[in-house]
Amino acid sequence: MVCLVTLLSFLKLTLSDFEISGGYWVVLQPSIGISAMHMQVLNNDKVIIFDRTDMGPSNISLPNNYCRKNDDVLQLDCTAHSVLYDIASNTFRPLTVQTDTWCSSGAVDRDGTLVQTGGYHNGERIIRAFTPCFDNNCDWVELTKHLWDRRWYASNQILPDNRIIIVGGRKVFTYEFYPKNESLASSYYLPFLFETRDPGEENNLYPFLHLLPDGNLFIFANKRSILFDYVKSKIVKEFPVITGDDKRNYPSTGSSVLLPLRLTGRNADNETTMLPEAEVMVCGGAPAGAFIKADKEQVYVQASTSCGRLKVTDPKPVWSMELMPMPRVMTDMLLLPTGDVILINGAANGTAGWEDAVNPNLNPVLYLPEEEPTRRFVVLKPSTIPRMYHSTAALLPDGRILVGGSNPHRRYNFTAYPYATELSLEAFLPHYLAPQKAHLRPSILSVESMDRTVSYKQVFSITFVLALFRPSGAISVTLITPSFTTHSFAMNQRMLVLNVINVAQLSTFAYKVLVSGPTSATVAPPGFYMMFVVHAGTPSQGVWIKVM
């Protein structure tokens, strides 16, 4: 046992040890009837997908011959604008959204219910809930309580106490919480949201939010970022302005991730003790004026080519800038079970907005945060389907990336050329799902924790099998939240690399890895996470666990 641990720590894989295949693209459905503008993976292995309700008929009927009144385009709309996709069977069914969800936001609460907020017109102050079910009878529910302010292009973050903070929106410079505190008179004003707005262009919508391990909220808008104490409604500090001229938020839509939180340090009881360091990464966007040029003159300037990393837990953090292999705007950034980042979807010219981009980024890019600076970006295989404005991507528990949507038009237009409203659903299979990696892939047999629920600092074990006589690389255990993705920002996306205490071989192919659960609710807000065992850079299928 001791030998094995020693062996594993010496066998840390580097990129040169394996050839990265460029991945694979698969079309899952030629049409799901709607364009996937928003996506949320749920803990019952279904994905809720929706766009907007005010753009005419979609290509799928509402269930039970139902028709909805009061649509902006149609007097009576008998088509659906939301579907529920079942990952295992690759099937989908229509859902009923009553009010307009256009450019809205959401977060999953600790019980696994999607709480979706805002939208446009009759939907701008609506709160909707979708609770996963196993009998195929569940649908959207509109809550009777409304938001304080209209939330169109706002961002959400789930908080340690299971409240959701909703920040910003078009011409709304406030934040508020769900559930609402009824004894308050209004939302909270946040001047930072007003100050970061560019006249005529905005460039600060869908701000990037990341809950940091110390419990404060990181908020990035346009080029500026702050550490915000939402309990006291106080800016703790302002970080340096990101280097360069590029704007990073809608419509100069870049993306951002909180890089994996690596848990270290343990006490005599093997409990994780340290708060992890936290590093934020921001990629892509567009230079000032790009939106106006695209919108008014049909001139599509080159998108941003840069990414910046900021170690926000450093006492004096500075942005470290890097160049992507190509310009990118409207690119989704997703954390992979391996701890790497994938940049997928988007365009090389223009900005977000109707008819405002050209030159789609068909190639995803892999980013290896731990590699040597010159070897961090790897260009992957291209798709054939442009995924620009109003496209999305989400990590599935099986390690694939679900990709859908793209509609740069005011309405559905299934015949527009060259960028028709895209109804198809694809999957991208990253390099670790290549057949050459099959022999490295662990399979989780059991999680030794009651009801697959893990409490803070709990020491628990996971039994897995490997089709090898001994491991050929490091073993790690990672947790990833299912994110709410829209407009290239995966809200609530979070990854933890658990503290591995010990790996023991149980039999020829079976192993038991002992880990300590996340430190606290500020490090990992309570709720459902996909858990992966990663061996030699190859993740297992994820299993759902609940952290609380």
Ligand X SMILES: *[C@@H]1O[C@H](CO)[C@@H](O)[C@H](O)[C@H]1NC(C)=O
Which one, 187 or 196, has the nearer CB to ligand X? 187
> Is residue 256 involved in binding ligand X (CB under 6 A)?
no
> Minimum distance between the CB of residue 460 and ligand X, rounded to whole angstroms?
10
User: What Cα–Cα distance (Å) separates residue 267 from each residue in 25, 44, 436?
Assistant: 45, 35, 40
Using CB under 6 A as the binding rule, the residues of this chain from 46 to 65 that contact ligand X are 59
Using CB under 6 A as the binding rule, the residues of this chain from 25 to 44 that contact ligand X are 31
Sign, Cα dihedral of 286, 289, 293, 294: positive
Report the SS3 class of residue 267.
coil
| Eight-class DSSP state of 391 | E
CA atoms within 13 A on the CB side of 522: 14
> Minimum distance between the CB of residue 266 and ligand X, rounded to whole angstroms?
8
> Is residue 73 involved in binding ligand X (CB under 6 A)?
no
> Is residue 302 involved in binding ligand X (CB under 6 A)?
yes
> Is residue 135 involved in binding ligand X (CB under 6 A)?
no
Sign, Cα dihedral of 125, 202, 303, 319: negative
| Residue partners of 117: CB distance under 8 A and separation at least 6 | 104, 105, 106, 126, 127, 128, 147, 151, 154, 156, 164, 166, 178
> Minimum distance between the CB of residue 320 and ligand X, rounded to whole angstroms?
25
> Is residue 300 involved in binding ligand X (CB under 6 A)?
yes
Check: CB of residue 460 under 8 Å from CB of residue 450. Answer: no
Which one, 272 or 349, has the nearer CB to ligand X? 349
Strand partners of residue 534: 476, 539
- Tallying the residues shown for the chain, one arrives at 548
Report the SS3 class of residue 540.
coil
Which one, 110 or 224, has the nearer CB to ligand X? 110
> Is residue 108 involved in binding ligand X (CB under 6 A)?
no
> Minimum distance between the CB of residue 146 and ligand X, rounded to whole angstroms?
17
> Is residue 413 involved in binding ligand X (CB under 6 A)?
yes
SS3 content of the chain, % helix, strand, coil (to 5): 10, 40, 55
Member of 10, 134, 417, 469 binding ligand X (CB under 6 A): 417
Stretch that binds ligand X, among 237-245, 296-304, 390-398, 441-449 (CB under 6 A): 296-304
| Residue partners of 29: CB distance under 8 A and separation at least 6 | 90, 92, 424, 425
CA 5-6-7 angle, to 5 degrees, is: 90
User: What Cα–Cα distance (Å) separates residue 323 from each residue in 306, 309, 311?
Assistant: 5, 11, 18
Using CB under 6 A as the binding rule, the residues of this chain from 176 to 235 that contact ligand X are 181, 183-184
CA atoms within 13 A on the CB side of 517: 23
Stretch that binds ligand X, among 412-420, 425-433, 467-475, 524-532 (CB under 6 A): 412-420
Report phi then psi at 430, rounded to 5: -65, 165
Site string for ligand X, 447-476 (x = CB under 6 A): ------------x-----------------
Q: How many CB atoms lie within 10 A of CB 156?
A: 25
> Is residue 273 involved in binding ligand X (CB under 6 A)?
no
Stretch that binds ligand X, among 64-72, 80-88, 120-128, 414-422 (CB under 6 A): 414-422
Using CB under 6 A as the binding rule, the residues of this chain from 488 to 547 that contact ligand X are 501-502
Check: CB of residue 347 under 8 Å from CB of residue 303. Answer: yes
Which one, 392 or 481, has the nearer CB to ligand X? 392
Member of 74, 143, 274, 301 binding ligand X (CB under 6 A): 301
> Minimum distance between the CB of residue 441 and ligand X, rounded to whole angstroms?
26
> Is residue 411 involved in binding ligand X (CB under 6 A)?
yes
Which one, 216 or 349, has the nearer CB to ligand X? 349
Check: CB of residue 238 under 8 Å from CB of residue 229. Answer: no
Site string for ligand X, 354-393 (x = CB under 6 A): ----xx----------------------------------
Number of residues that bind ligand X (CB under 6 A): 23
> Minimum distance between the CB of residue 71 and ligand X, rounded to whole angstroms?
16
Residues that bind ligand X (CB under 6 A): 31, 59, 181, 183-184, 269-270, 300-302, 349, 358-359, 411, 413-417, 423, 459, 501-502
